[in-house]
Amino acid sequence: MKVLRWICILLFMMVTLVPFVWLILSSFKTNQELFSAPFALPDKWMIENYEKVLTSHPIPHYFLNSTFIAIVSTLIGVVLATLVSYAFMYSFKFKAGWLLIITFGIFIPTNAFIVPYYFIVNWLGFYDTLFGVALVYAGVSLPLCILIVKTYMDSIQKELLEASFIDGAGVHRSFISVILPISYPGMTTASIFLIITAWNELLFASLLTQSEGTRTLQVAIRFFLSTFSANYPVAFAAMVIAVIPTIVIYSLLSEKIISGLTAGAVK
Amino acid sequence: MTSRQIYLYLVPALLFTVVFFIFPLAYVLFVSLQEWDGLSGMNFVGLDNFRYLFEDAAFKTAMVNTMYWILAGTLLHTPLGLLLALLLFSKPKGWKWLRTLFFLPNVISTTALAFLWYFVLHVSLGLVNNSLKGVGLESWARPWLSDPSMSVFASMIPFVLYIGFTMVIFLTQMSTISQEFYEAAEIDGATRAQMDWHITVPLVKSAIGINIIFNTAYCLRMFEYPLLMTGGGPADSSINMSLFIYREMISANRYGISMAAGLMTIVMGTIMMGIVFGSLRLSERRRPR
């Protein structure tokens, strides 16, 4: 039985991970070698492929663009979600109705909104800016973000809030010194979710930016295919360079990312 | 406790909801009834855009293919994620490390995976065809992504295989199951497979539901794989809703048609979610626990 389990795991690893190894090996070959000896180790390791990419493409710049968008959209999304979740700890008129309004977007395939988003971002004057993209990401992810943070806050005992009021703290004081400090697992989960979503996104980034200065990593990868179509190994090298920082950061934080992704969801 | 001050906390999110959901929804409805190139004036055409869509072969293919995507998410991607979670849940040596490894593709980005698999499935230099050649199955080699009869299925392969996120959701719920169940089963002489099937799977039912909902929503928005791997082709055979909407707006400048298709995607999403929620509720009623 145990053997069978390991066979399954290894088989799965092979299918999903061998392509990465193949890509890395191929990125050191010449175009000719790629076709003639697809599995062999490179005859001569073509470091030049990497040099070519690094001298012609500002990949670190794209990486910073993506990082900026991920951080800004996450900050906006999590702050808004936390504020509104706090409001829902109180009772007020039409509470269920308000909740429905701010979360119904979860069920909307937002790719249907490319025309309105394009014009909204234009009207706001944020077309072809990183902030415009971040704003849209925050908006699109907000309903799910609210649901994550609110579910967590719902588990906080109401007595804490009441006690804080008895101690003389008002609505704002109670939020900052009582609720906020114990809500961070929910906020962490929402943040990780938002960062991964923002990091991955291609459609809106392609739609809302145009110049090379605002290109995100994903948009850049999209263009690798056409830019390097004459020399595939160079395209592979570009790809390796584009994903290495992500892999390094992930391998340093993977435990935190995976546990944080679900920390706020399970109580 | 009530207080007027709490509306201050509600307003920012509400503002965002108006800007990013309520207004866009109204705008989509409005534009879907217009003939418009995005620059000059709009021309009201009633339901003509929808009439056009239902006679358009590419749109029909896009709808059918999007359904295929959703089916693949429900019937292949989710069960595979469950299977892998079960394998790791039996805590083989280094399972944490394996979990990290299997989640890695999810942070690398869909675009990068699409790029990678474009080459893996490439007709002449691809890993798949060259492997087949290597083991003497040359006749099995295919132009996977450029054969209209399988391009859409070929472009789903990376989505079906990279199950990191789904797996993590399953593993999380599995970790909340009380060990007592397994200890009792062990005393009764149950095998690991029996425990998986009779204890773990029924107890992660809500995670199955969550994953199906997530994956259905994801497939409705699917954009990267078709765009990079096939571009929707050959001859529109692998186009889906996202790509259709995008193409009508960006390449064809037919904003009215694009948004009519957008509205159809929203309708489709609503129906699909209705079906998913309905069947989840039904399955809950059938086996009370």
Question: Would you write out chain B's pLDDT as a tens digit for each of its 289 residues?
Answer: 556 788 899 999 999 999 999 999 999 999 999 999 988 888 899 899 999 999 999 999 999 999 999 999 999 999 999 999 999 998 888 888 899 999 999 888 899 999 999 989 988 888 888 888 888 888 888 889 999 999 999 999 999 999 999 999 999 889 888 888 988 988 988 888 888 888 899 888 889 998 999 999 999 999 999 999 998 889 899 999 999 999 999 999 999 999 999 999 999 999 999 998 888 888 777 654 4
A-chain residues within 8 Å CB-CB of B268?
A: 109
- Partner residue opposite B172 with nearest CB, options A119, A165, A262: A262
Identify whether residues A56 and A39 lie together within a single domain.
no
Identify whether residues A16 and A4 lie together within a single domain.
yes
The pTM score is 0.91
Rounded to a whole number of angstroms, the distance from the CA of A171 to the nearest CA of chain B is 7
Residue B271 near chain A (CB below 8 Å):
no
What residue in A sits closest to B125 (Cα-Cα)? A35
- Partner residue opposite B112 with nearest CB, options A107, A115, A243: A243
CB contact under 8 A, B25 and A108: yes
Rounded to a whole number of angstroms, the distance from the CA of A6 to the nearest CA of chain B is 8
Whether the Cβ atoms of residue B81 and residue B166 lie closer than 8 Å to each other: yes
User: pLDDT value at position B57?
Assistant: 94
CATH of domain B42-286: 1.10.3720.10
CB contact under 8 A, A116 and B106: no
Is it true that the peptide bond before B234 is cis, omega within 30 degrees of 0?
A: yes
Identify whether residues A23 and A108 lie together within a single domain.
no
A-chain residues within 8 Å CB-CB of B87?
A: 5, 8-9
CB contact under 8 A, B168 and A262: yes
Distances from the Cα of A85 to the Cαs of A145, A146, A175, A179, A190, in angstroms?
10, 7, 11, 10, 12
Residue B214 near chain A (CB below 8 Å):
no
User: pLDDT value at position A45?
Assistant: 87
Q: Residue B90: which of A118, A8, A146 has the closest Cα?
A: A8
A-chain residues within 8 Å CB-CB of B103?
A: 254, 257-258
Identify whether residues A32 and A106 lie together within a single domain.
no
Q: How far is residue B82's CA from residue B212's CA, in Å, rounded to a whole number?
A: 11
Question: Between β-strands B34-35 and B43-44, what pairing exists: parallel, antiparallel or unpaired?
Answer: antiparallel
Identify whether residues A39 and A139 lie together within a single domain.
no
User: pLDDT value at position B11?
Assistant: 93
CB contact under 8 A, A19 and B161: no
CB contact under 8 A, B17 and A15: no
Domain count, chain A: 2
Instruction: State the pLDDT confidence band at A267, using cuts at 50, 70 and 90.
Output: very low
Identify whether residues A131 and A243 lie together within a single domain.
yes
Q: Give the CATH number, domain containing residue A73.
A: 1.10.3720.10
A-chain residues within 8 Å CB-CB of B110?
A: 200, 202, 218
User: How high is the ipTM of this complex?
Assistant: 0.89
Instruction: State the pLDDT confidence band at A265, using cuts at 50, 70 and 90.
Output: low
**Residue B27 dihedral angles phi and psi, to the nearest 5°:** -65, -40
Identify whether residues A39 and A64 lie together within a single domain.
no
The rounded radius of gyration (Å) of the Cα atoms in chain B is 23
Q: How far is residue B177's CA from residue B55's CA, in Å, rounded to a whole number?
A: 52
Q: How far is residue B132's CA from residue A8's CA, in Å, rounded to a whole number?
A: 21
Whether the Cβ atoms of residue B176 and residue B185 lie closer than 8 Å to each other: no
Q: Which residues contact B244 (CB under 8 A, 6 or more apart)?
A: B58, B59, B62, B232, B261
**Residue B43 dihedral angles phi and psi, to the nearest 5°:** -130, 115
Residue B159 near chain A (CB below 8 Å):
no
Instruction: Name beta bridge partners: B34.
Output: B44
Identify whether residues A121 and A248 lie together within a single domain.
yes
- Which of residues A92 and B80 earns the better pLDDT score? B80
What residue in B sits closest to A256 (Cα-Cα)? B100
Positive or negative: CA dihedral A193, A196, A200, A205: positive
Residue B145 near chain A (CB below 8 Å):
no
- Partner residue opposite B6 with nearest CB, options A12, A92, A120: A92
Identify whether residues A54 and A31 lie together within a single domain.
no
User: pLDDT value at position A259?
Assistant: 82
Whether the Cβ atoms of residue B174 and residue B200 lie closer than 8 Å to each other: yes
Domain span including residue A37: 1-45
CB contact under 8 A, A1 and B192: yes
Rounded to a whole number of angstroms, the distance from the CA of A190 to the nearest CA of chain B is 14
Residue B228 near chain A (CB below 8 Å):
yes
Identify whether residues A80 and A162 lie together within a single domain.
yes
Identify whether residues A66 and A8 lie together within a single domain.
no
Identify whether residues A229 and A140 lie together within a single domain.
yes
Q: How far is residue B228's CA from residue A255's CA, in Å, rounded to a whole number?
A: 31
CB contact under 8 A, B7 and A91: no
For residue A157, give both structure tokens.
């005992």
User: pLDDT value at position B1?
Assistant: 52
Q: How far is residue B116's CA from residue B258's CA, in Å, rounded to a whole number?
A: 29
Q: Is A119 exposed, middle or buried (0-12, 13-18, 19+ CB in 10 A)?
A: middle
Percent of chain A with pLDDT over 90: 43
What is the number of CB-based contacts under 8 A between chain A and chain B?
A: 250
B-chain residues within 8 Å CB-CB of A90?
A: 1-3, 6
Distance spanning both ends of chain A, measured CA to CA: 33
User: pLDDT value at position A264?
Assistant: 62
- Partner residue opposite B116 with nearest CB, options A9, A19, A171: A19
For residue A263, give both structure tokens.
């920390």
